[in-house]
Amino acid sequence: MPSTSADIEHAAQLLRAGRLVAFPTETVYGLGANALDPEAVARIYEVKGRPATSPLIVHVASVEMAKSLVTNWPDQAERLAQKFWPGPLTLVLEKRPAISPIVTAGLTTVGLRMPNHPVALALIQVAGVPLAAPSANRFTQLSPTTADHVRQSLGGDVDFILDGGPCEVGIESTVLSLAGPQAVLLRPGGISRSEIESIIGPMTTATETPEGAHPAPGMHPRHYSPRTRLLLVKNGEVPSQGSGIYLQHQHPPSRADIEVIVIAMPATATGYAAALYDKLHQADTHAPDWIAVDCPPHTPDWEAVHDRLTRASS
């Protein structure tokens, strides 16, 4: 059932009382807590089994709310927010003391995003506080793109779930650091590299996961993973043993002598991203021996999809 205004008011009351609420965004469902309440944020880490080295993104309902949480709002942030907010872009900036170190894995920076979903924006506005919210699932597992995915993953460990229907973007936000002298892409996502560079010019890319606190979420080597072993394959070369699920993009499975369920994937990068986690959730329900993914093209528009598939298969 879609969430009502009464549901949103109830969820906002829970958040103000230090409880956890799962809510929809255009990317994936988030597990939200009052970002200004360290004890509530600590419960996010506990419920997810998330390491303290992985920071959380703080969700806001306006540029003004974002500015109130950081020490500096550079011109690049202003231009990107005007173009892409609300939307799947997280900006990393130097934080104010109001944001506890538990939110940021002890770092002096915080990732901020204005989600492009009416339920998420209404929830933040009614609650009157920014929301710290990673994906509403167990750490390293498949991200949820429906309320049912949240229920299956977290069960009774979340105090309330707002249902906003399936997520339209389907993969997490792009994370861009503006805390240093040059913009750094920390995680590819719903806004492409070329879209960002059209606004602020060239940027660098974080290439390795550092020791200690990660500068952004989603940088753990293994992430976004189904319970079933996931394999990236070329030219339809599926395993010769066992039965499995094959996510087909271009090539049919190479073998007809084994049991394979074929799931056709969308042809475009945006369509593929929107369907990816839902199809992997579906595949997992069959409890196959393996999930083989027909490797999509290695072109710039597929960067975020490749990032998710590579970490899921690690």
pLDDT in tens, 63-115: 999 999 999 999 999 999 999 999 999 999 999 999 999 999 999 999 999 99
- pLDDT tens per residue, range 10-23: 999 999 999 999 99
The reply to whether 174 and 244 lie within a common domain is: no
**Is 217 among the domain residues?**
no
| Whether 185 contacts 204, CB under 8 Å | yes
The reply to whether 148 and 235 lie within a common domain is: no
Neighbouring CB atoms inside 10 A of 165's CB total 13
The reply to whether 171 and 274 lie within a common domain is: no
- pLDDT tens per residue, range 276-291: 999 999 999 989 999 9
**Is 224 among the domain residues?**
no
CATH of the domain at 152: 3.90.870.10
Domain end call among 189, 205, 221: 205
Rounded to whole angstroms, how far apart are CA atoms 270 and 66? 27
Domain range for 248: 230-312
The reply to whether 198 and 235 lie within a common domain is: no
Domain count, the chain: 2
**Is 221 among the domain residues?**
no
Give the predicted TM-score (pTM) of the model.
Answer: 0.94
**Is 222 among the domain residues?**
no
- pLDDT tens per residue, range 160-179: 999 999 999 999 999 999 99
The pLDDT value recorded for residue 210 is 63
Helix, strand, coil percentages (3-state) for the chain, rounded to 5, are 30, 20, 50
The reply to whether 52 and 144 lie within a common domain is: yes
- CA within 13 Å, CB half, 296: 25
Angle between helices 193-200 and 75-84 (to 10 degrees): 130
**Is 55 among the domain residues?**
yes
Q: What are phi and psi of 48, to 5 degrees?
A: -80, -20
User: Which residue is associated with the tokens 């299956």?
Assistant: 152
The reply to whether 155 and 84 lie within a common domain is: yes
**Is 137 among the domain residues?**
yes
